[in-house]
Structure 1
């Protein structure tokens, strides 16, 4: 994939230079120019058609949100990432409504900057190599989560096997309002008592079951587990 061409629009020359250095450190990006005013930015965009603009909100002659509208009208194929200290609801909501790819709040760390650009690059790559996208791919376009991370990430904590968990959940669906003990679950599901208790306690954390001490006629109370949907 060829390098992604970038224009930086930032009135503070020191910050503009930092953003330029950050951009050059991320693989696959090239800074074409820096504009310090809205008018200068408009002139550059007439001659240079970058794929991406890094845009500040507070420029000396125009608000960045107004420049976003101008770019959307005159250069709809250019993507925009806002980099600004502004946290006003009106600014953020306007940016969102006008299709800004990301919104980075100053002061900017390199890790946050790098993550934003890499997510943007991943999205472009998906468009270039696919005719259709999976549900995971589509979700990642808006969530800024890389699809491969979404697929490979194991949502279960350490010590919880999804297959064993599914087996236990299916069995629990058959129990009545009297509940079940870890010992009974162990016998019925074929797992050890300690494993049964570990999975039951995990399901408590997921609010699928709850536990209570039940006192019998003789002996100490036993810990019983009940489905939350009963």
Structure 2
């Protein structure tokens, strides 16, 4: 067990990235943040499995696309075989499905390339805070109250950073307009949002799926009069207010 054993110790990081030049840049970025140490770089699936077993890192920086594996599928391997290793995805993939899958599989964060140091630093600081909270809670005993649970879930990682996170391709004004429309109508389809906001249907769908990925909305399939299914989006009740 390697998880949160020492509040003041270095956080050991494994980088899984097939482009060694990018891996070296990421290593330098990580080690510019006080408290983090890169203990290994793996360029393929075999190396990644070996180093996970040998190094037992607290944190893994994982790419999505490799010649011999899919990073999202390998994420499930990490969660199954090395559940005490947390994961941050670093990838050029910007597809909504990839982001949503990564969140569902339990990544701490998902950052797109080219990597911006300030964005990575923000996430690493959030991860440090998360570990300190876990360390403090374990020192206090086995019990945990609702407020402490809320701080762990909403104060770190994807949920904690979503309000201030700059996202390429997402315009804040358009996002707020769509969010307000969902708030007002309770539920809406892609076509309805497109007509109301004056944006294309594909753009409307991208914004709606972004809201779902960030936990600000939910989506269900609805079957119309002709039996053709379409996604209906609703403002998440927990995010209202």
Give the TM-score, by structure 1 length: 0.60
Between the aligned partners of 1:46 and 1:124, the Cα distance in structure 2 is 21
Equivalent in 132, 150, 156 of residue 141 of structure 1: 156
Between the aligned partners of 2:54 and 2:19, the Cα distance in structure 1 is 23
Q: Please provide the CA RMSD for this pair.
A: 1.5
1:54 aligns with 2:69: no
Gaps of 5+ in 1: 146-230
Give the TM-score, by structure 2 length: 0.57
Cα pair 1:39 1:61 within 8 Å, conserved: no
Stretches (4+) displaced over 4 A = none
Equivalent in 100, 107, 123 of residue 107 of structure 2: 100
SS in 1 for 2:155: helix
SS in 1 for 2:107: coil
Alignment of 1:1-230 (within 5 A): 1-130=8-137, 131=140, 132=144, 134=147, 137-138=151-152, 139-141=154-156, 143-144=159-160
Between the aligned partners of 1:90 and 1:110, the Cα distance in structure 2 is 25
Between the aligned partners of 2:54 and 2:101, the Cα distance in structure 1 is 27
SS in 2 for 1:6: strand
Q: Which gives a bigger RCO, structure 1 or 2 (Cα 8 Å, sep 6+)?
A: 2
How many pairs does the alignment contain?
A: 145
The alpha carbon displacement at 1:96 in A equals 0.8
